[in-house]
Amino acid sequence: MRAVVYEQFGAMPEVREVADPAPARDGVVIGVEATGLCRSDWHGWQGHDSDIRVLPHVPGHELAGVVQAVGAEVTQWRAGDRVTVPFISACGRCASCAAGDQQVCQRQTQPGFTHWGSFAEFVAVDHAEVNLVRLPEDMRYSTAAALGCRFATAFRAVVAHGRVEPGQWVAVHGCGGVGLSAVMIAAAAGARVVAVDLSPGALALAAEFGAEVCVDGGAVADVPAAIVSATGGGAHVSLDALGSPATCAASILGLRRRGRHVQVGLLPLAAGPAVLPMERVIGWELQVLGSHGMAAHAYPAMIGMVRAGTLRPDRLIARTIGLDEAGPALASMHTAPPTGMTMISPRGAA
């Protein structure tokens, strides 16, 4: 098969002919029709992710496609099924999985990290019965792949952790892929959304996707004060969708009493520890929650809203490229961050 391969961390990935993957006994091989380019792929390529232990490596974890081959123990899936997967492949057997919390599985694997990923014509996914999500016939592969890690994570953050109710105020700090997803999802849930970003372009998109108030973080001296003022006392729910010590603290300080902060953006230790205003958390009985993907069994509610047109992940896709362009696109993510999602079509038509 053709795949995007890198030999060394930071070395330009190349498209190469490599061996096709084979399914594990309880796994499948998926023919990749669409796969999203994500900042996590860039971090992995830079050597920031300790899950990538063996080189050469193939990145990619936000995928949709067609089941190509199934292992001997797989009974619920067969070749030809249209599927997507959460970015975490759960084991299905640990205590977290037994509790229905596959998104924090204790023995998780991740295509594109613990093994070769989806910037390829085929990708292997373990424990198929736990991890595959069936796609409606009328859903495009690119739309399904756009649910990827960012949209599904934002959905869980807003709906399951934020427990957003119609009319409540939701603040979203950082309007990249996950932030814009959160804006769209919160607005669809009937919330009033305040979007915060440094980029006027990102704020314009946030407004397009349903933000009622946009706060230019570079233009106001005190972001939390701006949110408190715009929302008549602070947000009910606030997300740090960027992942930095500053946006995390601002998100907490922009809440009203008994509000909920959900940390969605990664806070790598390399960027320094986040100092949180815990005196505020105690005094105002705030909740501080982490969000890490979403289990396969939770997808149908989200997919139902996509089919109904209430959620439009397809609108987050800014461009679609072929496998040959994927390496350079990955390499330039840091210096020229794309606006909106980049979708890769390993077979030419998503």
User: Can you give the binding site for Zn ion, defined by CB under 5 A?
Assistant: 38, 40, 62, 90-91, 94, 97, 105, 149
Q: What is the DSSP string of 154-187?
A: HHIIIIIIS---TT-EEEEE--SHHHHHHHHHHH
Going by C-beta distance under 8 Å and a sequence separation of 6 or more, which residues neighbour residue 216?
Answer: 197, 198, 200, 203
Smaller CB separation from Zn ion, 92 or 277:
92
Smaller CB separation from Zn ion, 37 or 83:
37
Smaller CB separation from Zn ion, 40 or 247:
40
The answer to whether 125 and 65 are in contact (CB under 8 A) is no
Smaller CB separation from Zn ion, 95 or 282:
95
Minimum CB distance to Zn ion, residue 150 (Å): 6
Smaller CB separation from Zn ion, 87 or 209:
87
Amino acid type, 185: I
Minimum CB distance to Zn ion, residue 26 (Å): 13
| Residue 259, SS3 per DSSP | strand
Smaller CB separation from Zn ion, 143 or 231:
143
User: For the CA atoms of the chain, what is the radius of gyration?
Assistant: 20
Smaller CB separation from Zn ion, 94 or 160:
94
Q: Which two tokens stand for residue 254?
A: 């922009």
The answer to whether 342 and 38 are in contact (CB under 8 A) is no
Minimum CB distance to Zn ion, residue 200 (Å): 25
* Torsion of Cα atoms, 250 then 224 then 191 then 237, to 10°: 40
Minimum CB distance to Zn ion, residue 37 (Å): 9
Return the residue nearest Zn ion (CB atom): 38
Minimum CB distance to Zn ion, residue 151 (Å): 10
The answer to whether 49 and 43 are in contact (CB under 8 A) is yes
The answer to whether 174 and 216 are in contact (CB under 8 A) is no
The answer to whether 133 and 296 are in contact (CB under 8 A) is yes
User: CA-CA distance, 312 to 17, in Å (whole number)?
Assistant: 35
